[in-house]
Structure 1
Amino acid sequence: MKKLVVLVLFIMATSLVSAAVSSEYYGESPKIIVSLANQDPDPVEPGKIVEVSFKMDNQGTLANNVVFDIEPEYPFSLLPGEAKTKILGTLGTSQNGERTVFVKYKLKVDQNAVDGSHEIKVRYKTENFDLWNMLEDLIIKVQSKDAILSVEKYTTTPEVVAPGSKAKLMIGLRNHASSILKDVKITLDLGKSGDEQTPFAPVGSTNEKVISVVDAQGYIPLEFSLMADPDAKSKVYKVPLKMQYSDIINKNYSKTLIIAVVVGAEPDISVYIDSTKVYTAGKTGEVTVKIVNKGLTDVKFLNVNLDKADGYKVLSPYEVYLGNIDSDDYETADFKLGIDKTSKGKTILPLTIEYKDANNADYKKKVNLELPIYTSSEAKRLGLVEGNGKIKWIIVVIVIVGGFFGYRMWRKKHRK
């Protein structure tokens, strides 16, 4: 019985010693919590310097010879002269009020860093602990100042849209940010632009395109099908293009740009002789040339020049300025000509016509007009000229004189 009591007392004593040892080595100890207290600026732009402050809070027992170390990886690097490892000494407890310390570093962000949240690795150790405590999931935010989405280029096919015709408008978007852009909405404002109404309507789709994501530095082509109004005037139309999108940190952007769409058509000019007062060789008369604008667009600054050639002489100015001719309208130019006596059958009148369309594109047209030349007998037979006028007057005079003398003789006879 005594032996049993002694054995029980021995076991109890051993347990108390073991508990004391466990308490000394595995019970109370330093309990350090590390967090990223601040980054300045927040967020930091690529290529800039950021100051980060780490907070070390000891919620356990006294920590001696505390050492803090940073392990920067891309896109971060330490500034020259900045110590990687910092010896902090003793970190107190809650009882003495010296349990918190801040550790600061200045880091350079790479110029090509992608926008977003980047992890920074740090570690620490204390006295009596040879192993480092590695800390992860500490985040530094990198963000370009503005996430820029731009129109890199745009084209219309055809380049000049004829009234009443279809065209394809291609718009190329470029994401200049180093992170994705999302919820991109592109809208063509086909209503009123300034003081004028844009003469376009979407065909086959709406005037709005939506893109869920545009990759960093990515390029996205968009295509709109448009139709110009049949009565659209030839000119340059300004079309507002509205862009709305968000960046990776959900910052919203909205801006309106202006693109230009040209409406116009190649002028359709007809030139012919409207009338003439010269029909036979050796005669002089006026020739009227008519210029008709049969096209959809107006023409401006129209000038007509009658070039020199054999068979005639120009007795008036060679050049006639007519100015503007509206669509479905005409103007005339008059030239006084002397037809050579040797001309037979026809005389060619070479004309050079220069003008601009409504969008100031230059045009030059050369035409050869045929002026018919008749013989005297042909002209009389066709009723283009009258017969010999002298004979007609002689007959008239003879009739008058004969009548006069006949009347006198009649009076004398009756007086007797």
Structure 2
Amino acid sequence: MPDTPLTQAEAPTVIPRPSACPGLWRIVSARDGGICRIKLPGGLLLADQADAVAAAAERFAGGVIEATNRGNLQIRGIGSEHRALVDTLLAAGLGPREAAGDDVRNLMLSPLAGHDPLMLLDARPLAGQILELLEGTPRFHQLSAKFAVQLDAGEGLAMLEHPHDLWLSAVRLEQQPWLAFGLAGCPSGGPVLGAVPLEQGLALVRAVLERFLELATPAQSRMRQLLEVCSATDFVAGLGLDIRRDPAVLAWRREPHHASWLGQLPQPHGLALGVAPPQGRLTPAMLRGAAQVARELGDGSLRLSPWQSLVLTNLQAQHIDQAQAGLSAIGLLCHAHEPLARISACTGSSGCAKALGETKADAVTLAALLGPGAPASVHLTGCPRSCAVAHVAPATLLARSPGRYDLYLRDARQPGFGALRGTDLTLNEAGAMLDLPTEHLND
């Protein structure tokens, strides 16, 4: 991609097409200012690019940077200098020159893609081909800015619960690499609709996207909407590919490894280190500090994760303590046992007109109230959309009014957030309930 900045004529002045979803070129208004979302290729952010994002957040916005639940970054509180902001980010190599090509860059990988000792294959070459296909095919620019693809190579550190319009997961059949796939779901939930050899992975993605655009009406922007009127079996039958659908494929299930995403992470050579900004929010100083550690002790790159965290790769074991100390000193969470590491929260009423509670501040208060018996993950959401978490958390607090929440526990037998266990709770009441043993909460 050329690294020359946009001219005044080239820079964006209007939203490229109707959507409420922010992008690099589409700065969407919120209560706290504009939001610009930077879609990272496979979550990869080079150290110099991190510095550019930090500088842009300081110069053109209020200094708030968020890690998203799909491995991207967004800048909040943007003022009026939209053109200059986009210019700066493009000059750092953080987006394509065409606005429509940016919208469709929704491909999720493991933050340890290519570095995970449990991976069945290196997902990065195919991921690069898929991103090139999405960016470079004008027909695919018709896809919704939310239409998303996941490529799972069997890594131990992998988000397996976020739903995607198309997911692909590596599997070995007769000692050869294949890709099982499904629609409008996730690898952990299935169902598997078939498999193709690894070398046909790009052709499969192309065929699925083309068939979706052939069949979907303007009101059917996501795969789940199309599948309400077209069965998955009929959809797959029309792909025009030789899809393997024998019992060995259809009965396959992706088994999770329950790897922690914070702290030391294994690699075939050296170690990776997972760290998280509290509630997904980075200051420019945090991002610069992480970039400096990556430059000096790692391979000069950061990887954004779907847990709203960062992964630094290729650190030597003798440098881990030094890296953790430096990152902890700038406010990043480095260990899973830290109270704030167990809590996520949406933007809250200070930044979003739909939110009924100040969830970010309430999350800090709640963290101090949680004991060892609380669920491993608690999410505070200001409205039923639950924007900050794409899957259902083990425990969800849904705001009813400032400082008061309904408590839900995840239950596979019930839709939405799960089973309602408490209504109109104060934070103290919610903390006390969450600290009860699970069997008492389920009574």
- Structure with the largest fraction of strand: 1
TM over 0.5: no
TM category (shorter chain) comes to: under 0.3
Tell me the TM-score normalized by structure 1.
0.18
TM-score normalised to structure 2 length:
0.17
Asked which structure has the greater RCO (Cα within 8 Å, sep 6+), the reply is 2
